[in-house]
Amino acid sequence: MKPTIRDVAKMAEVSISTVSRVMNYPDSVVESKRKRVMDAVQKLQYQPNAFARGLIFKKSFTLGLLIPDIENLYFAGIIRGMQDACIKLGYSLMICNTDRDKERLLSYIDNFHEKQVDGIVFASDVLYPEYYDKLVGCRIPFVLLSSHTYDYEIPSIEVDDEAAAYDAVKFLIELGHKEIGMIGFNHDNSIAGPPRYEGFIRALTECGLEQNIGKIRYANHRFEHAYEAAHELFTAYPELTAVFCVADEFAMGTISYLKDRNIHVPGQVSVVGFDNLRMSSMFIPKLTTIAQPIYELGYRAAEKLHELLVTGSVAILRERMDHRLIVRESSREK
Amino acid sequence: MKPTIRDVAKMAEVSISTVSRVMNYPDSVVESKRKRVMDAVQKLQYQPNAFARGLIFKKSFTLGLLIPDIENLYFAGIIRGMQDACIKLGYSLMICNTDRDKERLLSYIDNFHEKQVDGIVFASDVLYPEYYDKLVGCRIPFVLLSSHTYDYEIPSIEVDDEAAAYDAVKFLIELGHKEIGMIGFNHDNSIAGPPRYEGFIRALTECGLEQNIGKIRYANHRFEHAYEAAHELFTAYPELTAVFCVADEFAMGTISYLKDRNIHVPGQVSVVGFDNLRMSSMFIPKLTTIAQPIYELGYRAAEKLHELLVTGSVAILRERMDHRLIVRESSREK
DNA sequence: TCCTTTTTAGAAAACCTTTTCAAGGGGATT
DNA sequence: AATCCCCTTGAAAAGGTTTTCTAAAAAGGA
C-alpha cells in the first residue's frame, strides 16, 4: 500500500493537517514538529496523492497535445519544445496522435476531458465546428498551433505561411527560373494549403510569371503521395526547371521521383522545401527549404496556453513567428 | 463549472447512485430512468471525474512511456503501436522524452509516480541500478522495450539483436564482400551495442573473414556522428567494399559521407542499415536494412505491461519478436 | 500576575465518485 | 390471500487531501 498522509501523521505523532501544512507551507509549522514530519515523509517515501489533490484544486497540472501524425518529424520538434516548456511551467504533458482521423480526435477530446487536462494545444489541423463545439462543450481552454481560425476568437500561433511561400518562390525566381511548379497540400483538409498557395501565386504575379499559375499538383501529407504528384506534375509540364514543395517530405518525394527519372537535382531542376525537418540536412542533396522555428513553436504554444489558463486571456490573439530561408544543395541558378 | 454526478441526478430526478449505475452497469437500471439519465448526461456533456474515480479505484488507467529521443523515427513507430494498444485496453498514454539525460529520466519517474500511472514502458535504454531502485521504490510496475536485463527479473520485449546483426553481415558476405566494416553504437551507454557487435563478429568468424574484426567505428545515435565515424572508418580502411550500420540513421550518415567523397553506393560500397524506419524507403538510394517490427513492439509492450498489471506476472519474461532483412538499393553483389 | 493578542495545531467539511447495505415494491408461488 | 424472493433504488460511507474554523497555547503588555 502506498503510504498516505495519515501514515505520516501517525509516525510523526501530529495531525494530518500539520502534515499537509508542512508539505505546502513549511514556515507555518514550528521547527520541532516540522522536522518530525519531514523525517517521516522521507522514511515512508511519501508522495501526496494526485487524485485527492486534483479533486480539491480542480486542476490536473497536465496539458494535452493533439497532433495529426507522430511519424512526421515536424511534430517531434513540436513535442520537444512543448515538453520543455511544460517542465518549466510545472505541467505534465499528454500527447495524442490522431492519424488525421476525425472520430479519433473527438474521442481523444473526451479522453482529455475525463482526465481533466487543464488545457489543450491543437496542432496543425483545421478547427472544424464539431471540434470547436466539443471543446467548448467540455469547457477546456485551448490554443491553435500552426493553425488559426477567423470564425472564433481562439488564440493561435504559427508562421506566416503566405509570406513564407512567397519568399520561397521569390528565391527561385531570383535564381532565374521561369518555369516553376508547385506540390501543394489539398485545400480541403489542410490549414496550410490555401495560404501557401496564395504565396506561390503572389510571387508569380508580381514577377510576371502568370503562365505558371496552374502548374500545381496536390498531395496528401506523405512522401509517397508527393512522389505520385511529382510524376503527374512533370508529365503535364516537362518544361519545369524548379518546384516549390510545401513540405520537406514533399521535396524528398519529388527529388526521389526525379532521381528515378534520371533528372538531376539541382542540375536540371531546383527544389525548395518547407519546414526544415532534421532530415532535410541528411537528405541527398541537402534540402533548400523554408525553416520554421519548430521547437520554439511548441514551446511558445505551451506558454501561451499557460497564459490563457492563468489570466483567462492572452496578450496576442493571433501570434506569428518568423520563418527564414535556408539555402542548401537542392537549388541552383538557372 | 463542470457538471458533476449530482447535477445529472438532479436533472434526471434520480439519486446519484442511479446515475453511477447507468454509467457503469446500464442493465441494472430500469429503461425509463436509464433514458432520463442518459438524456441528462447528453445534455450536460457530463463526464465522470477521473480524480474521484482514481481515488476509489487507486488506478489512473494511464500508462507511462519513457523514450530516449523523440526525434528518432524509431520511437514514433513505437508510440503509434503503443497508443493503439492503449486505446484497445482502455488506457491513456503519457509520453516522456528523456533526451538521454539521467536526471531528466529520474525526474520523469517522480512525475509518473505523482500522477499515479499504473505502469511504465521503459524503452531502448540501459536499466541502470538508480533507475531500477527508483522504480521499485515507487512501486510502479514496468516492462523493458528494446532492452533487457539479466540483473533483475524484469519483463522485456525486443528483437534478437545478435541474430539480426548476424543476418545483415551474412547477407553482405553472401553478396561476395570480403572487406566489411561496421558503424556501431558505443557499448557503454547503449543496450543494442554489444549484441549487434557480437552478431557482426560471429558472421565474420564463421566465414573466415577475421581480418575485418577491428574495422569498426562507433557513433552516438545521430546522423552527424555517423558521418564522422564513416570518415574515420574509411580513412583507416579505404579497402572496404561494404559497411554494416547498426541503425538506419547511421546508414544515411555513412552514405552521405560516401557521396561527399564521390564514392558510389551501392556501386563501390554496399551499406546495410538496421530498423527500417519510414525514412529508409525515402532515402536515395533506398536502404537495404534489417526491419524491426516497430509498431508491433510498441503494441506488444503495452499488452505485456497490461498483463503484468492485471495478473501480477507475465507469461514470457524475456520475449523476442522476429526481424527480417529487406533488400533495397543500397547493397549490391561484389 | 492577569488580560489581550498572536501563533500554532487539531477537528471537520468539502471535493466527486463507487459500492455496500438496507428497504420498498412487485411478481410468483403456495 | 399470504409469504417469499428478486429487482430496483436510495442513503451513506469511503477514498486522500486541503482548508476553514475553532481552540489552545504562547507571547506580550500593563
Domain boundaries, chain A: 5-48, 60-158+294-321, 161-292
Do A114 and B223 count as a contact with CB atoms less than 8 A apart? no
> Contact at 8 Å (CB) between B51 and B81?
no
CA A33 → C1' C3, Å? Answer: 29
Residue B1 has pLDDT above 80, yes or no: no
Read off the C-alpha cell for B291.
526491419
Mean of pLDDT values over A272-288:
94
* Topology adopted by domain B60-159+294-321: Rossmann fold (3.40.50)
Q: Which of B95, B137, B252 is nearest residue A282 as measured by Cβ atoms? A: B252
**Partners of A274 in the β-ladder:** A290
pLDDT of A191: 95
Q: What percent of chain B has pLDDT over 70?
A: 100
* Three-class DSSP category at B258: helix
A161 pLDDT higher than 80: yes
Task: For domain A161-292, give the fold.
Answer: Rossmann fold (3.40.50)
Q: Please tell me the distance from the alpha carbon of residue A24 to that of residue B95, in angstroms, as a whole number.
A: 28
Per-residue pLDDT at A136 exceeds 90 = yes
Q: Looking at the complex, report in whole angstroms how far the Cα of residue B187 sits from the nearest Cα belonging to chain A.
A: 25
pLDDT band for position B148 (50/70/90)? very high
Same fold, A60-158+294-321 and A161-292: yes
Q: How confident is the model at residue A177 (pLDDT cuts 50, 70, 90)?
A: very high
Q: What is the pLDDT of residue A153?
A: 96
Is B139 in the A-facing interface, judged by CB distances under 8 Å? yes
Kindly list the distances between the CA atom of residue B78 and the CA atoms of A233, B67, B74, B82, B300, in Å, as whole numbers in the listed order.
35, 9, 7, 6, 10
Give the span between the Cα atoms of A229 and A242, in whole angstroms. Answer: 15
Q: Is A257 exposed, middle or buried (0-12, 13-18, 19+ CB in 10 A)?
A: buried
Question: What is the pLDDT at residue A133?
Answer: 95
Strand D contact at CB of residue A327, distance < 7 A: no
Mean pLDDT for the stretch of residues B226-255: 97
- Partner residue opposite A139 with nearest CB, options B2, B49, B79: B2
* A73, A137, A279: residue with CB nearest B45: A137
Query: Chain B contacts of A283, Cβ < 8 Å?
Result: 283-284
Q: What pLDDT is recorded for position B137?
A: 86
Residue with cell 514496468: B142
Among A143, A185, A179, residue whose Cα is nearest residue A299:
A143
Q: Determine, for residues B96 and A111 on separate chains, whether the beta-carbon distance falls below 8 Å.
A: no
Nucleotides of C under 7 A from a protein CB: 8-12, 14-20
One-letter amino acid at B262 equals N
pLDDT for A28 equals: 86
Contact B94 A96 (CB under 8 A): no
- Which nucleotide's C1' is closest to B17 (Cα)? D10
Cell numbers found for residue A26: 513549511
- Topology adopted by domain A60-158+294-321: Rossmann fold (3.40.50)
Tell me the three-class secondary structure of chain A, residue by residue.
Answer: CCCCHHHHHHHHCCCHHHHHHHHHCHHHCCHHHHHHHHHHHHHHCCCCCHHHHHHHHCCCCEEEEEECCCCCHHHHHHHHHHHHHHHHHCCEEEEEECCCCHHHHHHHHHHHHHCCCCEEEEECCCCCHHHHHHHHHCCCCEEEECCCCCCCCCCEEEECHHHHHHHHHHHHHHCCCCCEEEEEECCCCCCCHHHHHHHHHHHHHHCCCHHHCCCEEEECCCHHHHHHHHHHHHHHCCCCCEEEECCHHHHHHHHHHHHHCCCCCCCCCEEEEEECCHHHHCCCCCCEEEECCHHHHHHHHHHHHHHHHHHCCCCCCEEEECCEEECCCCCCCC
Q: Which of residues 28-57 of B touch strand D (CB under 7 A)?
A: 28-30, 32-33, 52, 55-56
The whole-number pLDDT of residue B282 equals 86
Is-contact A71 B76, C-beta < 8 A? yes
Question: Which residues in A lie closer than 8 A to residue B49 (C-beta atoms)?
Answer: 55, 116
In a 3-state reduction of DSSP, which class is residue B161?
helix
* Per-residue model confidence (pLDDT) at position B182: 98
What rounded mean pLDDT belongs to chain B? 95
The whole-angstrom distance between A277's CA and the closest CA on chain B is 10
